[in-house]
Amino acid sequence: MPPKSKITRDMIVDAAVKVARETGAEAVNARTVAQTLHCSTQPVMYHFSTMEELKRAAYSQADRFHTDYLMHSSGKINPLLEIGLHYIRFAIEEPHLFRFLFQSGYAKESNLSEMIASEELAPVLSAMQEGLKMDPDKTRKVFLTVALFAHGYASIIANNALEFDERTVAAHLERAFNGAVLAVRQEENDEKTV
């Protein structure tokens, strides 16, 4: 008789993300994860004492996937705007994961200040800071404006209330981005003249 394959913690997290990705985070439970792995629920319950613990591990993995998705550059447009478009496109291509990440309550951050200071956001802010040639505080101000705008668009799209027209969205996003940069630079000029 061949030995049974060992179900690892990582395999279980991968399966939970797959379930969340295909049918939504609310469908993640010991039975659906076990079905995905073609095993009993015993390995799932062995590695995770609660479904909450498993969902948090799946959330962390989905969050890393999302960050990688945002940072992929085509080199065809302004990389700062491309991040915003990727954020919106993610909501279209991965609506279940988008809702899991941004509408489920599993985020560690409970307010905007914590979100902007999060470790997962560091690569995005770093890329923006380099492209804008601004100090970190001003970069965060620009990011916040664009992020709130992009999140609004993405949320509406992820919940099937708006059709995605990339040209229109890109134009709106560029306008929000340029306006945010202009406002931050105007604040800087106002501070210098006082």
Task: Quickly state the pLDDT bin for 24 (edges 50, 70, 90).
Answer: very high
Between 181 and 159, residue with greater pLDDT: 181
Q: Rounded mean pLDDT of 166-192? A: 88
Question: pLDDT value at position 75?
Answer: 67
Residue with tokens 């995605």: 164
Alpha-carbon Rg for the chain in angstroms: 20
d(CA 144, CA 95): 22
HEC secondary structure over 84-95: HHHHHHHHHHCH
Distances from the Cα of 113 to the Cα of 80, 116, 174, angstroms: 20, 5, 24
125-164 residue pLDDT tens: 887 788 788 888 898 888 888 888 888 888 888 877 667 7
User: pLDDT grade, residue 194 (50/70/90)?
Assistant: low
Report yes or no: 12 and 48 within 8 Å, Cβ to Cβ.
yes
- d(C-alpha 19, C-alpha 25), whole Å: 7
Q: Which CATH architecture has domain 1-62?
A: Orthogonal Bundle (1.10)
- Give the Cα separation of 9 and 95 in Å (integer): 25
Q: Is the pTM of this model over 0.95?
A: no
| Among 90, 72, 92, 68, CA closest to 82 | 72
Q: Which residue has the tokens 């909450």?
A: 52
The DSSP output letter for 120 is: G
Q: Is the pLDDT of residue 1 over 50?
A: no
Query: 107-123: per-residue pLDDT in tens?
Result: 777 677 777 777 777 87
Helix H or strand E encompassing 170 = helix 166-193
| pLDDT tens-digit series, residues 51-98 | 999 999 999 999 999 988 988 877 677 767 788 889 899 998 999 999
